[in-house]
Chain A
Amino acid sequence: MTDRRRINGPSGGTSAPIFSKYLAKTPNELLERPTRSRPNNALRKMFLKTGVTPSASGSAYLELEASKNPKSTAPGLSSPSTSGLKLTCTVHGPRPLPKSAPFSPHIILTTHVKYAPFATRKRRGYLRDSSERDLGVHLETALRGVIIGDRWPKSGVEIIITILEGEEDQWWGDGIGHGNTAAAEWGMMSVLSGCITVASAAIADAGIDCVDVVAGGVAAVVKGSAKGPSPNLVLDPVPSEHKEIIAACIVGYLPSRDEITDLWVKGDIGHGNQNEDTAQSASYEELADSAVQAALGSHRVLIAALKETADVKIGRS
């Protein structure tokens, strides 16, 4: 449905043009794909802070460090490097439902995920499209199992996530006629994992009763990395760092109860006991376990951020 109410900006790229003096001397230097320098089981550095929006009941901001081309000589912003992930989340509620709403014995959770128009390399519109609605449904599934809904009958809580900078689905250089087929939406997987973590921090900031602290983690089976041609299992994948992603999995995990609230696997993967030609490719169970490991890593950052906020808020009494 086209948006006829607003005057939209020109559709197309969102990156600013760069000065030619920062262009590489040889074209090979520029068109080199960024590589993954961290080990397979290491996550990117995460910054998480709660209480960024004073007018909301709870809020949080998450930022993952951007991956860079190690050989690029241009200073920070002017190199066409890949982007990191920046998310902000606000929680409003629990607040009473409107009088016209039917009675509900538990709390009604509403999630709203939106990419900012400047968040990805291709400009997005102002109205939510199907991928954003999909993210909202997955986020609601992940959080529904954690919030104790019985304490708030006839009430609703609204969780709004704005993605200020999103993950790319593939390296931009791949799009320039290297023969790559249309990439599936791998960027959305890391974005969803960040959404779960940041929503969990905002809900804890709002003081809404939860059974546990849910954390999001993502893992992928990739091909063609520096470690060799056989498929590898990596945690916290950045889609532009890998030539081909075979399968990816994202979980919402509760560490204290050892439970999973949301699980989403995409790609080409089979069970462990299936006989396959490439015996080294990972199985579905291994992929899900790695995603749980990634969620544990996010959980550590999450509880450190919550403890810091609590120290500031209550430290004096």
Chain B
Amino acid sequence: MFVLPGEPLEPATLPSHSTIPLKLGPGLLHIPPNTITPTVAGLLRTDKRKNAVWVEFNGGRYVPTTGDLVIATIQRSSVDVFYASISDYTPNATLPQLSFEGATKKTRPQLAFGALVYSRVSLANKHMDPELECVSSSTGKSEGLGPLTGGLVFNISLGMSRRLMLAKPGEQGGLVILDELGEQGAAFEIAVGRNGRVWVDSKSLKGTLAIGKAIQDIDEKSLKVDEQKKLARKVAREI
């Protein structure tokens, strides 16, 4: 359902749950006591299971939120903290040198300018610069986070990165490219950041470029499922 800023929402369009309170996602404003209005123009989406409602719009700006997984680029390092760039138009985020798996004061990770890191946003609010971490704060293990070596990073739109990060990209987001490439036998590693970046690594540079370009093409030309299958076959042949 398409909504505009300031449009009154009928209570019938909002999900209701017996026990869980209603969660408001991005793009909505709550005016006490019981008015909820959208603040951006986009599509209104609801999730009955989690009792959540939000407005989906494919904007260009990534706004850091706690718990997001992002691909950050190291800009410089100071005494005990790295400064990493999440997006071009925001100040650098800080990444403590000790929040890597197995890092102590004597053994710190050596990351130069331009190095890529897959990290989670640990602190993000409108008043302060965002902070990242490469280790899960509860278990102390990296769980897939950390520096990304080799490969190439590609820029995609925020909507595309959200679709790639869905639990079931094929059913929910209409994306079958990654499954198809796996079926065709292409060997590659991929990491998706919510800030509109995707990192691809394959055995050859040609393969890496082909896969990355394929994902960008699907994003720009909004290809459908059968077109994605055709593209996957073409890419697998090239590798």
Cβ B59 vs Cβ A206 within 8 A: yes
Residues facing A in B27-72 (CB within 8 A) are 27, 29, 37, 39-43, 56-61
Cβ B39 vs Cβ A213 within 8 A: no
Q: Is residue B102 contacting chain A, with contact meaning CB distance below 8 A?
A: no
Contacts of B29 in A (CB 8 A): 148, 209, 211
A136-154 to B contact mask, C-beta < 8 Å, 1/0: 0000000000101001111
Cβ B57 vs Cβ A314 within 8 A: yes
Bound-complex Cα distance A154 to B126 (A) = 9
Cβ A313 vs Cβ B58 within 8 A: yes
Q: Is residue A257 contacting chain B, with contact meaning CB distance below 8 A?
A: yes
Knowing A209-B29, A210-B39 are in contact, say whether A310-B5 is a contact too (CB < 8 A): no
Q: Is residue A270 contacting chain B, with contact meaning CB distance below 8 A?
A: no
Contacts of B43 in A (CB 8 A): 310, 314
Cβ A210 vs Cβ B6 within 8 A: yes
A57 contact from B40, B60, B126, B173, Cβ within 8 A: B60
Bound-complex Cα distance A95 to B182 (A) = 40
B40 contact from A152, A209, A316, Cβ within 8 A: A209
Cβ A306 vs Cβ B41 within 8 A: yes
Cβ B4 vs Cβ A306 within 8 A: yes
Cβ A207 vs Cβ B40 within 8 A: yes
Contacts of A316 in B (CB 8 A): 174, 222, 224
Q: Is residue A317 contacting chain B, with contact meaning CB distance below 8 A?
A: yes
The distance from the CB of B89 to the nearest CB of chain A, in whole angstroms, is 5
Cβ B42 vs Cβ A256 within 8 A: no
Contacts of B7 in A (CB 8 A): 256
Contacts of A306 in B (CB 8 A): 4, 41
Q: Which residue of B lies closest to A50 (CB)?
A: B41
Bound-complex Cα distance A311 to B222 (A) = 12
A209 contact from B39, B56, B163, Cβ within 8 A: B39
Bound-complex Cα distance A206 to B219 (A) = 19
The distance from the CB of A143 to the nearest CB of chain B, in whole angstroms, is 12
Bound-complex Cα distance A257 to B31 (A) = 13
Count of A-B contacts judged by CB separation below 8 Å: 84
Contacts of B163 in A (CB 8 A): 317
A95-134 to B contact mask, C-beta < 8 Å, 1/0: 1100000000000000000000000000000000000000
B87-128 to A contact mask, C-beta < 8 Å, 1/0: 001110000000000000000000000000000000000110
Q: Which residue of A lies closest to B160 (CB)?
A: A317
Contacts of A257 in B (CB 8 A): 6
Q: Is residue B8 contacting chain A, with contact meaning CB distance below 8 A?
A: yes
Secondary structure of the B side of the interface?
Answer: loop
The distance from the CB of A202 to the nearest CB of chain B, in whole angstroms, is 12
Cβ B41 vs Cβ A310 within 8 A: yes
Q: Is residue A24 contacting chain B, with contact meaning CB distance below 8 A?
A: no
Bound-complex Cα distance A209 to B126 (A) = 14
Knowing A96-B91, A315-B222 are in contact, say whether A207-B4 is a contact too (CB < 8 A): no
Cβ B126 vs Cβ A153 within 8 A: yes
Q: Which residue of A lies closest to B42 (CB)?
A: A310
User: Which of B41, B43, B224 has most A Cβ within 10 Å?
Assistant: B41
Q: Which residue of A lies closest to B43 (CB)?
A: A314
Knowing A95-B89, A314-B56, A314-B58 are in contact, say whether A210-B5 is a contact too (CB < 8 A): yes
Q: Is residue B15 contacting chain A, with contact meaning CB distance below 8 A?
A: no
Bound-complex Cα distance A309 to B40 (A) = 13
Bound-complex Cα distance A7 to B197 (A) = 45
Contacts of A146 in B (CB 8 A): 5
Q: Is residue A160 contacting chain B, with contact meaning CB distance below 8 A?
A: no
Q: Is residue B159 contacting chain A, with contact meaning CB distance below 8 A?
A: yes
Cβ B6 vs Cβ A310 within 8 A: no
A233-266 to B contact mask, C-beta < 8 Å, 1/0: 0000000000000000000001011000000000
A/B interface sample: 28 pairs, CB < 8 A = A57-B60, A57-B61, A96-B91, A154-B127, A204-B4, A204-B5, A204-B41, A206-B59, A206-B60, A207-B40, A207-B60, A210-B5, A211-B29, A212-B6, A213-B5, A213-B6, A256-B6, A256-B7, A307-B2, A310-B42, A310-B57, A313-B58, A314-B43, A314-B57, A314-B159, A315-B222, A317-B159, A317-B173
- Interface positions of A (Cβ within 8 A of B): 57, 94-96, 146, 148, 151-154, 204, 206-213, 254, 256-257, 303, 306-307, 309-311, 313-317
